[in-house]
Amino acid sequence: MINAACQIVGYTVGNDMSSRDIEGENPLYLAQAKTYDGSAAVGPGIRLAGAGALTDLAISLEIERDGAVAFAGSTATSEMKRTFSDLAAYLMQELAFPHGALLMTGTGIIPPDEFTLHRGDLVRITIGGMTLENPVT
């Protein structure tokens, strides 16, 4: 979470899934691949923290299907190529956000190409001890 002065003031968990079918046709279709009902969620709350507290948060992704884990992976914010402060500066370089903004960076965990979500799957993302769960519809 970034305030209007481009300061990082906290974080939450986000899930901005892409439709691989659409994105796979042409990488230029990324915007369309992220714009459909149920394609993005944030929560369960906002943990107040400055940029320094975000340098090594654990991140895990688990996809549950029919009561069993169909995919699981983990990483940490320390594996990111750019810092949160750099990403915030790029976001606000050309656009004004008078009330601040939520910056979604991606989990850094991607299932293999042959993996496909199914209706009824449960996507669970945990970052820094906060967990967001989304059912696939």
38 pLDDT exceeds 90? Answer: no
pLDDT (tens digit per residue) in 45-60:
999 999 999 999 999 9
pTM: 0.87
Tell me the pLDDT band of 10, cut-offs 50, 70 and 90: very high
**Domains and their CATH numbers in the chain:** 10-135 (3.90.850.10)
Measured CA to CA, the distance from residue 19 to residue 116 in angstroms comes to: 10
Instruction: Assign 17 a pLDDT band (cuts: 50, 70, 90).
Output: confident
- Written as six digits, the tokens of 81 are 């190529």
**pLDDT band, very low/low/confident/very high, at 90 (cuts 50, 70, 90):** very high
Average pLDDT over residues 110-130: 91
Own/partner pairs for 69-73, CB < 8 Å, 24+ apart? Answer: 70/115, 70/121, 71/111, 71/115, 73/109, 73/110, 73/111
